[in-house]
Structure 1
Amino acid sequence: MRSTHRADLHVHTINSDGAHTAQELIDRSAKSLCLLSFCDHDTFGAYSSDLVLPKTMRLLPGIEMSCQVGDSDLHMLAYFPKGLTGEILSWGRLLETDRKERVLNGVSQLRESGVPLLWKDFEAETGSSVPCRSHVARALIRGGLCDSAGQAFRQWLRQGIFRRPQITAEEAFQQVHELDGLTYWAHPQADQIRTHGERLIKAGLDGVESLYKNLGTPHRKVAREFQETHELGACGGSDLHRESPRLKIGQFAVDTRRLDARL
């Protein structure tokens, strides 16, 4: 599989809720991708080590931010084509701290509500990663309190126990732009576009993840129409967290010629 014109701009590492190291993802996709971006949840941790890149691959620094958008919490992607600076990394640590605080507080709230979730199970799932609700779901499974992540989210993790992220989309976009970055709406759903689209346009949205692997046909259609109407850029990726028989590392790719040229 030739890497020419093949990109994946949405991959997770062990620094948030992924299963693979950044270097492993680079090494195993080197022959199939020419452009790769780690977009971990509220952290640039994947970029903190000395990564070895093949000459045929470019690494685009990115992050997946959780933002308040009206009464919803949505995910936004930020990319920094000019590279990461100390100022960008410092800002990323603020996002990381907020995420750690709200997840840890959520675990405490669950325990106080009577859910017998053990800290040792949560810590075993999180390790040194920046915690996510998916870690909490895995800890609940580990402790025998539920059978699946889906059950964990339905029963405990969608009830407002976890506080909202502090940053609003407006604040995030302003900060990203001041840091010479670009903002994209991650895996946008049709109903979200109809509800929040105009607000995000006014906030300075640069593009839409309309080339996202798991975007269903109706949602993709609305996302592309929204993108074209507002002359926004496009990005996309696999959102790979863990390799599976159905999705191997480096298997999914977007043609780079369909991406926002600014990336």
Structure 2
Amino acid sequence: MSIDLHSHTDQSDGSLSPQMLIELAEKNGVQMLSITDHDTVSAYHLINNVPKNMHLIKGVEISCSWNNATIHILGLDINITEEYLLKNLEIQSKQRLIRAGKIAKILVKLGITDPLTRVMELAGNNIGRPHFAQYLLEVGKVRTREEAFKKYLGNGKPGDVKFEWMEMKTAIECIKNAGGIAVLAHPAAYKYTNTKLNGLLKEFKEFGGQGIEVISGSQTSAITNNLTSLAIKYDFFGSQGSDFHEYKNGYSSLGKCMPLSPSIQPVWNLF
């Protein structure tokens, strides 16, 4: 079975509409899909049709804070109408708008035409730095989104405006209150030492986290093996996802995930 439990639409920082993502998933043979936009579940209200042979798992990717650093937690198989979850996602959306205003002012001081109007057109109310990267690409200030982060938006750069996300404990509470399963997204992406990563996993488990994303995008086999060992060590369910955002050079990674090791329990056994 082709399973992809981490993908994004244009309701956060992806390029495809929710319905277009569903159609691409069907084309790629995905049989179980979760749309996990950043801090919003609005995509699910814009889907008109789901193929009969596709199991759509409602999800979200929540940005949160742990030890003064930003991490992402997937909420899978959630109730997208649950009040506590929606209230906290709305708070994050408002905070994103405030941060966007600050980033826009910084870019103007650097001689860039005020980007906020166009960025809001690109993003709606769920603004993130990738939307500023797209704007910088459109106006010719950079050649790629990656260059936008290297010059303007990445860690330590002028547009790196700090953000007060909800705490990890709160994010997990939101997911559990919505009847969902909390899964730590792309653990290797944080580039933590083994000691720090183990510390994160211990607290994540203590707060009610149930799984980790063992397979994420096109990571190396060494990373996958390490995450498999950690899933076994902490008795986590394993998840997998492409973290699809857009076509790259005509290629779609959606649904192109390596299989989980049979030595760990898949998170979809809980759905």
- Same topology, TM > 0.5: yes
Q: 2:40: which partner in 1?
A: 43
Is 1:167 aligned to 2:166, yes or no? Answer: yes
Offset at residue 124 of structure 1 (A): 7.3
Question: For the residues of structure 1 that align with 2:254 and 2:152, how far apart are their CA atoms?
Answer: 34
Q: 2:63 is matched with which residue?
A: 66
The answer to whether the Cα contact below 8 Å between 1:121 and 1:143 also exists between their aligned partners in 2 is no
Shift of residue 246, structure 1, vs aligned partner: 6.0
Could you report, residue by residue, the CA deviation over 1:208-253 in whole angstroms, capped at 9, with x for unpaired residues? Answer: 1102122233322222111110110111111111123563364514
**1:262 maps to amino acid:** L
Name the residue aligned to 2:23: 27
1:262 aligned residue? 270
SS of alignment partner, residue 64 of structure 1: strand
Kept in 2: contact 1:125–1:135 (CA 8 A): no
- Cα pair distance change 1:239/1:129, threshold 3 Å: farther
**Residues 245, 208 of structure 1: alpha-carbon distance in 2 compared, 3 angstrom cutoff:** same
Instruction: Describe the SS at the equivalent of 1:211.
Output: strand
Change (3 A) 1:178 1:124: closer
Deviations 1:166-222 (A, max 9, x none): 301111112221221111111111626631232322222211110212223332222
1:209 is paired with a residue whose SS is strand
**C-alpha contact (below 8 Å) 2:2/2:30 kept by paired residues:** yes
Q: CA deviation at 1:76?
A: 1.3
Distance 1:84 1:124 in 2: 24
How far has the Cα of 1:44 moved from its partner?
Answer: 0.8
Deviation at 1:120, TM superposition (A): 6.0
User: 1:194 aligns to what?
Assistant: 195
CA offsets 1:11-61 (integer angstroms, 9 cap, x no match): 110111111111112123225111111111111111122431121111111
Q: Give the alignment partner of residue 74 of structure 2, picking from 74, 77, 83.
A: 77
Contact 1:9-1:237 at 8 Å conserved across structures: yes
Q: Which moved more, 1:12-21 or 1:192-201?
A: 192-201
In 2: Cα distance, 1:51 partner to 1:194 partner: 46
Report the AA paired with residue 76 of structure 2. Y
Among 143, 146, 160, which residue is 1:150 paired with? 146
Q: Describe how 1:103-142 pairs up with structure 2 within 5 A.
A: 103-112=100-109, 114-119=110-115, 122-123=118-119, 126-128=122-124, 130-142=126-138
2:270 aligned partner, one-letter code: R
User: Relative to structure 1, is the Cα distance of residues 141 and 49 closer, same or farther in structure 2, using a 3 angstrom cutoff?
Assistant: closer
Question: In 2, distance between residues paired with 1:119 and 1:244?
Answer: 25
User: % of aligned pairs identical?
Assistant: 22
5+ residue gaps, structure 2, are none
RMSD: 2.6
SS, match of residue 67 in structure 1: strand
Counterpart of 2:236? 232
2:91 to 63, 84, 94: 94
Tell me which residue corresponds to 1:243. Answer: 247
Structure 1, unpaired ranges of 5+: none
Determine the C-alpha separation between the residues in 1 that align with 2:30 and 2:112. 44
Q: Distance in 2 between matches of 1:232 and 1:12?
A: 24
SS state at 1:78 partner: strand
In 2, distance between residues paired with 1:115 and 1:217?
Answer: 44
Instruction: Look up the match of 1:180.
Output: 179
Query: Which is worse superposed, 208-217 or 240-249?
Result: 240-249
CA contact (8 A) 1:28 1:249 kept: no
